[in-house]
């Protein structure tokens, strides 16, 4: 069965960095674009970034451009989010999400989420 | 970016009643509209994709409609497990965007 397990969250000071990981299993990872979606406490969902199945293309929401980098290792079925210059407004639960089909971003599987808290 | 506006923000209904949720896009997104359900402490659950297609395992009481800029999620007869927050999402353009959500609560 499909499993997505995020890790790497925690409490970090503003301006510092954090790297999130998502371990994927139960599907052909290298055939799927993969996404990060976040949710601030008590707020709605916000899409953060996508990396295409082969790593050739990446897109980001404007608020994280230049600070966050999405990457993947298809040999290890791993997805990553490197977050630099963190701000208080980056505080959220971060989910990795798998599209229903390879390229269409409707998310049929989500991880349990990992909480990132940016605070001094 | 495409802005999705969901209404109402909160819907207070009783079990067995019909729920009608709206999602309006700031520009045409064809039929590239997705609906999710989220319960407290849980990840979202995919309900509907491409405006009207039910995802695997989703009961027939959930249906979606619309195209262009106006979309509707209908739950024909609310079950207790349907009380949750519902989000729409467009997949027409990058960046992907979500609506602000509609909370369906027990009256």
| Residue A102 scores a pLDDT above 90 | no
> Do the chains contact at B95 and A113, CB–CB below 8 Å?
no
Instruction: Establish if B64 touches chain A: CB-CB under 8 angstroms.
Output: no
Give per-residue pLDDT as tens, A43-89. Answer: 999 999 999 999 999 999 999 999 999 999 999 999 999 999 999 99
Residues 14-53 of B with CB under 8 A from A: 34, 36, 38, 43-44, 46, 49-50
Which among B50, B56, B98 has the least Cβ separation from residue A44?
A: B98
What pLDDT was estimated at residue A26?
Answer: 97
Q: Which two tokens stand for residue A79?
A: 């997805």
> Do the chains contact at B98 and A108, CB–CB below 8 Å?
no
What pLDDT was estimated at residue A103?
Answer: 75
**Mutation test of the interface with chain B: which of A45, A50, A100, choosing the one with the most B Cβ atoms within 10 A?**
A45
Alpha helices of B1-107 — where are they, by DSSP H?
Answer: none
Residues 86-105 of B with CB under 8 A from A: 87, 89, 91, 94-101
A51 and A57 Cβ atoms separated by less than 8 Å: yes
Give per-residue pLDDT as tens, A5-53. Answer: 999 999 999 999 999 999 999 999 999 999 999 999 999 999 999 999 9
Which among A45, A106, A110 has the least Cβ separation from residue B98?
A: A45
Percentage of chain A modeled with pLDDT above 90: 97
What pLDDT was estimated at residue B95?
Answer: 95
Distances from the Cα of B3 to the Cα of A9, A46, B54, B78, angstroms: 29, 12, 23, 28
- What residues in A contact B53, CB-CB < 8 Å? none
> Contacts by A68-77 with C-beta closer than 8 Å and gap 24+?
A70/A34, A70/A36, A72/A34, A74/A29, A74/A30, A77/A23, A77/A24, A77/A25, A77/A29
Residue of A nearest to B44 (CA): A110
């Amino acid at each position: 069965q499909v499993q997505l397990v995020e890790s790497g969250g925690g409490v970090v000071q503003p301006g510092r960095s954090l790297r999130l990981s998502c371990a994927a299993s139960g599907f052909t990872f290298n055939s799927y674009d993969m996404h990060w979606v976040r949710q601030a406490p008590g707020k709605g969902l916000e899409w953060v970034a996508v990396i295409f199945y082969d790593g050739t293309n990446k897109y980001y929401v404007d608020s994280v451009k230049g600070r966050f980098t999405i990457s993947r290792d298809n040999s290890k079925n791993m997805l990553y989010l490197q977050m630099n210059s963190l701000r208080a407004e980056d505080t959220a639960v971060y989910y990795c999400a798998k599209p229903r089909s390879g390229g269409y971003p409707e998310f049929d599987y989500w991880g349990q989420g990992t909480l990132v808290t940016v605070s001094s | 970016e495409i802005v999705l506006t969901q209404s109402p923000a909160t819907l207070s209904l009783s079990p067995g009643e019909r729920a009608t949720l709206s999602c309006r896009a700031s520009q045409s997104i064809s039929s590239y509209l997705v609906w999710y359900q989220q319960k407290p402490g849980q990840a979202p659950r995919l309900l509907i994709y491409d405006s009207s297609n039910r995802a695997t395992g989703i009961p027939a009481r959930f249906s979606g409609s619309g195209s262009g800029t106006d979309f509707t999620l209908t739950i024909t007869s609310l079950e207790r497990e349907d009380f949750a927050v519902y989000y729409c999402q467009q997949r027409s353009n990058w960046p992907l965007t979500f609506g602000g959500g509609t909370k369906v609560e027990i009256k």
